[in-house]
Amino acid sequence: MVKKIFLNTFIISMVAIILSSVVFLGAYYNKIEKQMQAALETKTKLVEEGIRYAGIDFFKNINVSHDVHVTWRDKTGKILYDNIEYSDNMFEKTIYCDRTLPDGSIIRVASIYGSMQNLLFSMIHPMLVVLTILAIILYIVSNYIAKAIVAPINEIDLESGKIDDINGYEEIKPLLSRIRRQNIMIETNIREIKRQNAKRESFRRNFTAGVSHELKTPLTSISGISEMLANGLIKPEDVQEFGESINKETARLINLVNDIILISKLETDEIKVEREEVNLSELIANVVDRLGHIAGKRNISLTTDIKAKPVISGSYKMLEDMVYNLGDNALKYNFDGGNVNFILEQENQKVRIIVEDTGIGIPDEDKKSIFERFYRVDKGRSRDVGGTGLGLSIVKHIAIYHNGKVEVCDRDGGGTRMIVTINT
Ligand code: ADP
């Protein structure tokens, strides 16, 4: 930039100096020419007066200077006197002045002087000297100006944003404001990326810790029982009971591993399921059917209240898992002889699936945490009923995946209400 400003200043100044010198010389030459013409006319008048008084003898008595030439012709054109030497030299120019005497004869006085080329030629040397000196001065001044223009721009502190400090550079303030806005945007983005990375990292750590912890309990139990069996420490009549324990722990492990696989896919957005038309009332009927066996064992009634029959776009498998998980929890944390009710309703673009139970309910202080992975209100109870602590977290992700959300509240008269709202 310094180089460009310097070159522009230097070249423009030099061109301006050369042009003004040429114009000045032209005007000067013009003025000299006019003065010479006037002087020539005076000389011609003098010659005329001389001839009037002295005739041809006038020329004998005067000394005509070498650059003034006189021709005198009679009216027939015959030359009476002449000392002219015409010049066709490019460096010389001849000017004339004619006067007619009363007897009809004509006097011509001519003067030879240096032409414009001659003037220019004679000026070349001094001009070159002056131009060289000017060029050196301009070089130094242009360099100084270019650096002085650029220095304040280089000193601008884009980070501090103090753009009002750059007096004299009003025009670049909008540009600086834009750069600053972009800087702020970049900083915000970097902060956001760092925050997300930290969140992901903490999720990974917590998840790994949670998974290891969850796997440890059933594995310790299986390992203990099998060791006792191997050492013959279990009486034959107790083998069946211990066998059932191993079976229960293994089932819990399988559940846990399946839930872990599903939730890690959901949380890392790895799942790309084809969307299809899902009839939610049919889906609820299916889930109720699947849960009937467990409910029957505990004498819990399953009821439905289908107020609308919406068909939404989504993954049948995922939505079925979601409603099943809610129904399963409603049974697990219910009292024997209780009730689980499935409600399906639609309001404009919103579809609501509500699963309510007459169970133990959820304390207010736990309501905001139950959708977190591995969070349980009562660890012992959850384990007893075969919970993995991942069910509601899976429900939350499936709801979000379907452009929805899940909320919890108390059921009037005791128990829990889980409300999934999906925007269609
Ligand atoms: P879990 O596998 O332990 O059931 P969830 O993620 O499904 O894990 O639920 C988290 C916790 O929320 C449960 O451990 C339980 O304490 C509580 N919970 C979930 N659903 C209900 C419900 N319908 N009634 C009472 N408590 C519930």
The model's pLDDT over 29-71, given as tens digits with 9 standing for 90+, comes to 889 888 888 988 998 898 888 888 888 888 776 665 656 788 8
Pair 211, 260: CB distance under 8 Å: yes
Give the distance (Å) from ligand 1 centre to CA of residue 392: 7
Burial of 139 (0-12, 13-18, 19+ CB in 10 A): middle
Q: Does domain 158-272 fall into CATH 1.10.150.120?
A: no
Kindly list the distances between the CA atom of residue 80 and the CA atoms of 47, 59, 244, in Å, as whole numbers in the listed order: 14, 11, 157
In this prediction, residue 278 carries a pLDDT of 97
Assign 382 a pLDDT band (cuts: 50, 70, 90): confident
Count of C-beta atoms within a 10 Å radius of residue 298: 13
The model's pTM: 0.59
**Average pLDDT for residues 296-324, to the nearest whole number?**
96
In this prediction, residue 117 carries a pLDDT of 72
Closest protein CA for atom 13 of ligand 1: 376
Residue 137 in tokens: 């001065």
Assign 167 a pLDDT band (cuts: 50, 70, 90): low
Place of tokens 């993995």: 388
- φ, ψ (nearest 5 deg) of residue 303: -125, 160
Say which CATH class 274-423 falls into. alpha beta
**Average pLDDT for residues 317-325, to the nearest whole number?**
95
Ligand 1 contacts (CB < 6 A) are 329-330, 333, 357, 359-362, 370, 375-378, 382, 387-393, 416
The model's pLDDT over 208-237, given as tens digits with 9 standing for 90+, comes to 888 888 889 889 999 999 999 999 999 999
In this prediction, residue 263 carries a pLDDT of 86
In this prediction, residue 333 carries a pLDDT of 95
In this prediction, residue 51 carries a pLDDT of 86
Q: Is the pLDDT of residue 160 over 80?
A: no
In this prediction, residue 161 carries a pLDDT of 59
Higher-pLDDT residue of 116 and 12 is 12
Long-range Cβ contacts of 72-80 (<8 Å, 24+ apart):
72/105, 72/106, 72/107, 72/108, 73/105, 73/106, 73/108, 74/103, 74/104, 74/105, 75/103, 75/104, 75/105, 75/106, 80/56, 80/105
The model's pLDDT over 329-375, given as tens digits with 9 standing for 90+, comes to 999 999 999 999 999 999 999 999 999 999 999 999 999 999 998 89
Closest protein CA for atom 23 of ligand 1: 330
Helical (H) or strand (E) element with 261 = helix 239-267
Assess whether the region 158-272 and the region 274-423 belong to the same CATH fold.
no
Pair 72, 51: CB distance under 8 Å: yes
Helical (H) or strand (E) element with 231 = none
The model's pLDDT over 76-90, given as tens digits with 9 standing for 90+, comes to 989 888 876 655 566
Q: Is the pLDDT of residue 268 over 80?
A: no
Closest protein CA for atom 7 of ligand 1: 391
Count of C-beta atoms within a 10 Å radius of residue 159: 9
Give the distance (Å) from ligand 1 centre to CA of residue 333: 7
Higher-pLDDT residue of 412 and 205 is 412
In this prediction, residue 292 carries a pLDDT of 97
Give the distance (Å) from ligand 1 centre to CA of residue 243: 27
Using CA atoms, how far apart are residues 280 and 205, in angstroms rounded to an integer?
Answer: 37
Q: To the nearest whole percent, how much of the chain has pLDDT over 70?
A: 92
Which atom of ligand 1 is found nearest the CA of 361?
A: 25
Pair 394, 263: CB distance under 8 Å: yes
Using CA atoms, how far apart are residues 172 and 196, in angstroms rounded to an integer?
Answer: 36
Burial of 138 (0-12, 13-18, 19+ CB in 10 A): buried
Count of C-beta atoms within a 10 Å radius of residue 202: 10
In this prediction, residue 47 carries a pLDDT of 86
Burial of 229 (0-12, 13-18, 19+ CB in 10 A): middle
Give the distance (Å) from ligand 1 centre to CA of residue 370: 7
Q: To the nearest whole percent, how much of the chain has pLDDT over 90?
A: 44
The model's pLDDT over 123-148, given as tens digits with 9 standing for 90+, comes to 788 888 988 998 899 899 988 988 88
In this prediction, residue 87 carries a pLDDT of 55
User: Which residue type is seen at 16?
Assistant: A
Using CA atoms, how far apart are residues 55 and 279, in angstroms rounded to an integer?
Answer: 138
In this prediction, residue 323 carries a pLDDT of 98
**DSSP string across 54-104:** HTTHHHHH----TTEEEEEE-TT--EEEE-------TTEEEEEEEEE-TTS
Give the distance (Å) from ligand 1 centre to CA of residue 223: 27
Closest CA to 163 of 150, 174, 151: 174
In this prediction, residue 318 carries a pLDDT of 92
Give the distance (Å) from ligand 1 centre to CA of residue 383: 11
User: Which residue type is seen at 273?
Assistant: V
Using CA atoms, how far apart are residues 61 and 2, in angstroms rounded to an integer?
Answer: 73
Give the distance (Å) from ligand 1 centre to CA of residue 119: 109
**Average pLDDT for residues 182-208, to the nearest whole number?**
89
Mean pLDDT of the chain: 87
Pocket test for ligand 1, best of 266, 329, 334, 373 (most atoms within 8 A of CB): 329
Residue 175 in tokens: 């540009």
The residue ranges of every structural domain in the chain are 2-149, 158-272, 274-423
